[in-house]
């Protein structure tokens, strides 16, 4: 049941987000319990950092993850300076999550899809350009 609701939520999110993000590739791809959104750098996709809309049990969240050893080390001490987001431990690195979560058991598909768009917009506007700048420097090393 949760899988079906989550899929409907993602489908509605993709429709609601279409054309709203110049710097993100919303097509993404389905992953285990989540949805992967690429952040392109200089016009091509990169794997140093990416957003995920992910479901863990009943909670759906928007997160920013970092890939690669240099990226993980470089980003883990950055200050967020925004109370809407929080660092959390994820495998051998740290990631950033929006503090608002959606409970899939009480989801309103259209309303919560728009909430996901808003959450991603807030993260992108607050963090996106800064972390892309860091990623550009790391990539040049």
pLDDT digits (tens, 9 = 90+) for 16-67: 998 888 888 887 888 877 888 877 766 655 667 889 999 988 999 999 988 7
Residue given tokens 């919303």 in the structure block? 26
Beta strand 102-103 with 93-98: parallel, antiparallel or unpaired?
unpaired
Tokens standing for residue 134: 């860091």
Q: For residues 77-87, b (16+ Cβ closer than 10 Å) or e, as one string?
A: eeeeeeeebeb
Measured CA distances, 110 to 60, 98, 118 (Å): 15, 19, 13
Q: For the chain, what are the domain ranges?
A: 2-140
Rounded Cα–Cα distance for residues 30 and 18 (Å): 17
The verdict on domain 2-140 having CATH code 1.10.10 is no
For range 115-131, the mean pLDDT:
92
Q: What is the pLDDT of residues 66-114, one digit of tens each?
A: 877 666 667 766 788 899 999 998 877 788 999 999 999 999 999 999 9
pTM score: 0.88
């Amino acid at each position: 049941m949760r899988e079906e609701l989550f899929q409907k939520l993602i489908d509605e999110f993709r429709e609601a987000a279409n054309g709203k993000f110049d710097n993100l590739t919303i097509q993404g791809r389905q992953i285990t319990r989540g949805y992967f959104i690429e952040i392109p750098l200089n016009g091509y996709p990169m794997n140093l950092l990416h957003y995920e809309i992910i479901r863990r049990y009943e909670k759906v969240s928007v997160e920013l993850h970092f890939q690669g050893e240099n990226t993980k080390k470089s980003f883990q001490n950055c200050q967020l300076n925004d109370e809407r987001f929080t660092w959390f431990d994820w495998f051998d690195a740290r990631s950033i999550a929006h503090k608002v979560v959606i409970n899939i058991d009480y989801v309103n598909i259209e309303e919560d899809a728009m909430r996901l768009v808003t959450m991603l917009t807030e993260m992108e506007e607050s963090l996106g350009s800064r972390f892309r700048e860091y990623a550009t420097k790391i990539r040049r090393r």
